[in-house]
Structure 1
Amino acid sequence: MQTAGVAATVANLGGVAAAKSDSARQESNDPHPQQTLVNVSIDRCETEYAPDPRVAYYDVEATVSDDGDHVSLHGAVQNSYLEERAVAAARRASPASDSAPNLPEQAADAARDATGTTIDTTDLDVFDEIAEVRTVQTAIAPVRDDPDGDSGLLTEAVYGAQVTAFERESGWTRVRVPDGYLGWIRTDSLTDPIDGEFDAILREDIDASGDGPETVYAGTDCEVVSDTEDGTRVVTFRTGISTEVPAEKVVKPDSVPTTGTIIENAEYYLGTDTPYLWGGMTTEGIDCSGFVWMAYRIAGITLPRDSDQQQKIGKQVDRDDLREGDLLCFPGHIAISLGGDEFIHSSGSADGPTTNSFDPNADDYYEYLDESFQEARRIL
C-alpha cells in the first residue's frame, strides 16, 4: 500500500511539471530533458555488459517523447540478454524514475508504471535472432572493421571456416568468425555449408585439387572421408569440395591435447618463411596472437583471438617455473614458452615467427621482451 501511494504522488508531481514544460519544449524542438540521462544509462550498460566490441555488438540510442511517456530504443545488440539490459537501463533513467530518484527499486518501478512510460524496442535489432550459418569459400577471407576494403584488418577466416552471418551492407556481411571476433567479410566470400562431422583439421598447408582454392591453409576444418592405400586421406570441407591430403597433414585433435603437440604446431611456421602481418592467420602473414591461436587451435583448443584476451586464460605461473606451451605475456605481445628461457613467437621486428631467449648470454637474447615481461599463463 505504501509503494502504491508513493507512486501515485510521484505521478501527480511529474504530471504537473510535464504540463508546464511541454509546450515550450515543443516550440524549440529540443529533446525531452530526460533523454540525455536515458542515453547515459544505456551507455553505462554497455560498459558493464558489453565492454569489448570485438566480441559483442552493442550500439543503442534512445529518444524520449515530448510528454515523457514513451522511450524508443534504436540500433542493434548482439543478443536478447543485451536487449533486456538496454531496456532495464532505459527504465532506470526514464522520466518517472527521475521524479523519485531516491525511491527503493520496487517503488521506483511502481512510479514508472504510474506515469505510463513505455519502452519501445521496435527499432532495436537483435543480431542473434537473424543469424545464419555460413562458410568461407575463398582461401582467405579478411575480416575488417567496417564494410570497406580499405578499413582495418581485424583477423582472417580460412577456407571452410564456419561463420555466423548477421546483417548485410553494400556487398559485405557482418559475421562472427571462429576466433570469436565480430567484423565484416565480403558477401561473395561466403556460401552455404554442407552438413558433416568436421572434426579433423589441417596441421599444415596443402596444395588442393578440385574446384576449391589452390592452397588450403593450416587450421582449416575438414571431415575425413576415407584413407587410401597410397598414404593419403580424402577429406571434405564445409563447402562440399573434396580433395586428397597427405595423411600426416590432417589430424583429429586429441581429447586431451599435449604441450608437445602445441610446440610442433608452432614450429611448423618456422620453416615456411611466413611474414608478420597484423591480423594475419596463415603462412601468407600472421601476427603474434594469431600465431598462438593457431598453435592451440590445431591441437583442439580454441583461445580468444587477441593477446590481451589470451592473457586472461589459464592460471598464472612463476617465470622460474616455465614449461613448454605456457603463454608469455608482454605489453601488446604474446609468445609461447619452449621451456626455461626459450620461447617462440611471431615477431614484428623479426618479420615473422622466430625463436628467442631470456638468457642474456644467448645469441637470440631479446632484451626488450626480457625487461617488459608481465606474466606467464599455463593452460595445460
Structure 2
Amino acid sequence: MPVNERWVCAVSAATVWSDPNSPRLVDLPALNYPVQLEKWLAQLSFEERLALSDKGQIQTQILYGESVIIDEVVGDWAKVIACRQPSRKDPRGYPGWVPLVQLSAAKKVHTEEFVRVSARKAWVLEESGDPFLRVSFNTIFPCGKQQDGRTHIWTPHGWKLISNTDVKRFKPIEELSCGKPLTVGKQFLGLPYLWGGMSAWGFDCSGFIFNLWKACGVLLPRDASDQEKTGIPVSLNQTEWRQGDLLFFREDEDAIVSHVGMYAGNGQMLHAPSTGKSVEQIQLASSIYADKLCRVRRVCK
C-alpha cells in the first residue's frame, strides 16, 4: 500500500486509535469490515467506555468517504492523517491509526455539487434501491443527477443512491455559512457520549461542536484546546453572549481547556458532557460547569 497518498474511509465510521495496541478484545467489532458500531457500543461497560479516554486509547473518528493520508503501514494497520480535521498535532490534520481493512484507495470523480447527510443517520442504497450501508450525519458525497426522490452519489464503492430527504445539496463555494448550529444540534439530545466520537453513533464534547459547525459549512479544529483559539473573543459576561457562541471550561486556572459547549440562549448550554451521560441542554448557572468557565469565543460575527 503506497504511503503519503490519499485514501478514504471505507466503512460507516472508522475509529482512529492512538496506536495498534490500543484496541482490546471488546473493541473487535469496531475493527471489522464492515464495521459493527452498534454491537461495539452496546457491549461496552461504563468502565470500558471510560478507559477509552482515561487510557488515551482513541484519538478521533473518520466518516465514510473522508480523506486520509497514509504515513506508515505496520502489519494490518495504517498510520493516518485525517485531512479534514485540523489539529495542532500535525499541520496536515489529525493523526492516529486505523485498520487497513477499513480504508480504500481514493477514486476521483468530477462533480460540481455535493450532498451532506442532514439526517441523524441515512441509508446509502444500491442502484436497485436495496440498502447498502448506513451512514452518519455530516457524511459528504460528490453527487450527480436526481431521480425519483433520490440523488446519485459517488462513494468509495462507486455510484450509489441516497434519499433526497436525508441530505442537503451544496457547492463548495457556497459552503461557508453561519447557519443554525443549535437547530442542528438539538436532534442529538439524548445521544450517549463517546470519547473520540465524531458520528451519530456518539460524540465527545469537541467532536459535537466540530460537527455542528461543519454542518453549517464552518471547519473548526477537532479539539477543544484548539477550538478555543478560533473566532473572536467574547466577554465572560453572559449579557454579551449570542446563541452559537462557544463556551470553554477548565478545572482550575493552571489547567488547559477540558470541555466545550455551545450557548443556547436564556442562560442555557448545549453540550456532550462526559462518559456515562448524553447530549443535553442545561442551565449553566446551576451546573457543575458554572465556576469553570474560562473563555467564550464567537465563530461567526
TM-score, length of structure 1 as denominator length: 0.59
Q: What residue in structure 1 maps to residue 15 of structure 2?
A: 142
The alpha-carbon deviation at position 349 of structure 1 amounts to: 6.5
Going from structure 1 to structure 2, the CA distance change for 1:337 and 1:350 (only over 3 Å counts) comes to farther
| 1:203 corresponds to 2:128 | no
Aligned to 2:136: 217
Tell me the equivalent position of 2:299.
379
Cα shift at 1:358:
2.4
Deviation at 1:214, TM superposition (A): 2.9
Quote the Cα distance in structure 2 between the aligned partners of 1:188 and 1:349: 28
Q: Deviation at 1:248?
A: 4.8
| Residue from 153, 178, 184 that aligns with 1:258 | 178
Q: Which of residues 283, 286, 298 is equivalent to 2:215?
A: 298
Q: Which amino acid aligns with 1:167?
A: E
Distance 1:299 1:216 in 2: 19
Structure 1 counterpart of 2:78, which letter? T
* Kept in 2: contact 1:259–1:324 (CA 8 A): no
The reply on whether 1:356 has 2:282 as its aligned counterpart is yes
Q: Which of 55, 71, 74 is equivalent to 1:169? A: 74
- CA RMSD in angstroms comes to 2.2
Residues 160, 239 of structure 1: 8 Å contact kept: no
Q: Counterpart in 1 of 2:35? A: none
2:124 is aligned with what amino acid?
A
| 2:264 pairs with 1:338 | yes
Alignment partner of 1:269 is 2:188: yes
CA distance, structure 1, for counterparts of residue 207 and residue 97 of structure 2: 18
Tell me the percent identity. 23
How far the C-alpha of 1:194 sits from its partner, in A, is 1.8
Higher relative contact order (CA 8 A, sep 6+): 2
Report Cα offsets for 1:66-94 as digits up to 9, x if no partner.
xxxxxxxxxxxxxxxxxxxxxxxxxxxxx
Given that residues 227 and 234 in structure 1 are in contact (C-alpha distance below 8 angstroms), is that contact kept between their aligned partners in structure 2? yes
**Cα distance between partner residues in 1 of 2:298 and 2:179:** 10
Shift, 1:164, TM fit: 1.1
- How far 1:212 moved relative to its partner? 8.1
| CA shift digits 1:80-137 (9 cap, x unpaired) | xxxxxxxxxxxxxxxxxxxxxxxxxxxxxxxxxxxxxxxxxxxxxxxxx951110111
Tell me how far apart the structure 2 counterparts of residues 146 and 228 of structure 1 sit (CA, whole Å).
Answer: 44
Q: Are the aligned partners of 1:222 and 1:238 in contact in 2 as well (CA < 8 Å)? A: no
Counterpart of 2:265 in structure 1: which amino acid?
A: G
Q: Is the 8 A contact 2:117 2:139 kept in 1?
A: yes
Residue 235 of structure 1: CA displacement? 2.1
Which residue type is aligned with residue 232 of structure 1?
Answer: R
State the Cα deviation string for residues 148-178 of structure 1 (Å, max 9, x = none): 3347111111111111111100110011112
Q: Which residue of 2 aligns with 1:280?
A: 197
Give SS of 1:223's match: strand
Q: Secondary structure at the match of 2:289?
A: helix
Q: Which runs of no fewer than 5 residues in structure 1 stay unpaired?
A: 1-128, 360-364
148, 151, 157: which one pairs with 2:62? 157
User: In 2, distance between residues paired with 1:166 and 1:220?
Assistant: 24
1:181 corresponds in structure 2 to 94
Q: Which structure dedicates a bigger proportion of its chain to helix?
A: 1
Query: CA 1:264–1:237 in 2, change beyond 3 Å: closer, same or farther?
Result: farther
SS in 2 for 1:208: strand
Give the SS at the match of 1:300: coil
- Based on CA coordinates, which of the two structures has the bigger radius of gyration? 1
2:175 & 2:12 partners in 1: Cα distance? 28
Matched to 1:335, the amino acid is G
More displaced stretch, 205-214 vs 311-320: 205-214
Which whole-Å CA distance do the structure 2 matches of 1:374 and 1:342 have between them?
Answer: 16
Is residue 133–residue 165 contact of structure 1 (8 Å, CA) maintained in 2? yes
Letter in 2 for 1:329: F
May I ask how many residue pairs the two structures share in their alignment? 242
Deviation at 1:213, TM superposition (A): 5.4
1:244 to 162, 181, 186: 162
For structure 2, list consecutive stretches of 5 or more residues without a partner in the other structure.
25-55, 86-92, 251-257
CA distance in 2, matches of 1:147, 1:213: 29
Amino acid at match of 1:131: N
C-alpha distance 241-189 of structure 1, shift in aligned 2 (>3 A): farther
Q: Secondary structure at the match of 1:348?
A: coil
